[in-house]
Amino acid sequence: MSIDLRHQQYLDVMGIQRWVRRDLIVDDDETDSHDASVVNDAGNIPLLDWEALQAQVAGCTACDLHRTRTRTVFGVGNKQAEWLVIGEAPGAEEDRQGEPFVGRAGQLLNAMLLAIGLRREQVYIANILKCRPPNNRDPSPEEVACCEPYLKRQVALLKPKIILAVGRIAAQNLLKTDTRIGALRGKRYAYADTGIPVVVTYHPAYLLRSPKEKRKAWQDLLYAQKMLADEKQ
């Protein structure tokens, strides 16, 4: 029976049991080319609580990023928050501190939230990846796939009323699209099969480089704020 060892490693790290139908198991010395069928429900994410989930992330070795990280960056904020802010991946300072959105980009994000009446402590902030890619390169599809169960479990625990996707990488991975971020703005999306509204905006690091785009980000925040208000009615 042929088994993808790397895939098995991912399942082991996530705590997901690999289920094989007994009637399809064949011995290694058999010549039948029919491999055993492996069934793994995509929704079968371990029902870990916050503490257990964070501990599992801290010890994760599912992809090669664990070899170069200083610390994992699990997430931070109010675990009863209505707003979930999701960014791309930790940068150098986040890797050192173990907290998402610190430094200048984090300060700008804080200011953006305050502009709509939210303190950083009132929202929950996480990333697509829990470890920093070397040289801040874009995450690979494999790395995103390894971290996705962690993020999904965070969403399930948090039950946010709205998700703010911050930046191209976050938006495209959350929405499973390669559409450019400019075309994703100003529309209502839903996260996976949860129905949770998703609004896309620019990353604070991009806004620091392109300050003229801050007005568009402000429009995005107002749009998200109105959407949440409408959802409550």
pLDDT digits (tens, 9 = 90+) for 81-98: 999 999 999 999 999 999
CATH node for 73-232: 3.40.470.10
pLDDT, one tens digit per residue, over 204-213 is 999 999 999 9
| Residue whose C-alpha is closest to residue 228's, from 122, 134, 99 | 122
CA angle 79, 83, 85 (to 5 degrees): 95
pLDDT at 94: 96
C-alpha torsion 59→151→186→142, nearest 10: 70
Percent of the chain predicted with pLDDT > 70: 80
Which stretches of the chain drop beneath a pLDDT of 70? 1-46
Residue 88 and residue 203 in contact, taking contact as beta carbons nearer than 8 Å? yes
4 dihedral zone (left: phi>0; alpha: psi -120 to 50; beta)? beta
Q: What is the pTM of this model?
A: 0.80
Q: What is the mean pLDDT of the chain?
A: 85
Distance of alpha carbon 202 from alpha carbon 67, whole angstroms: 30
What residue ranges do the domains of the chain occupy?
5-39, 73-232
pLDDT at 43: 39
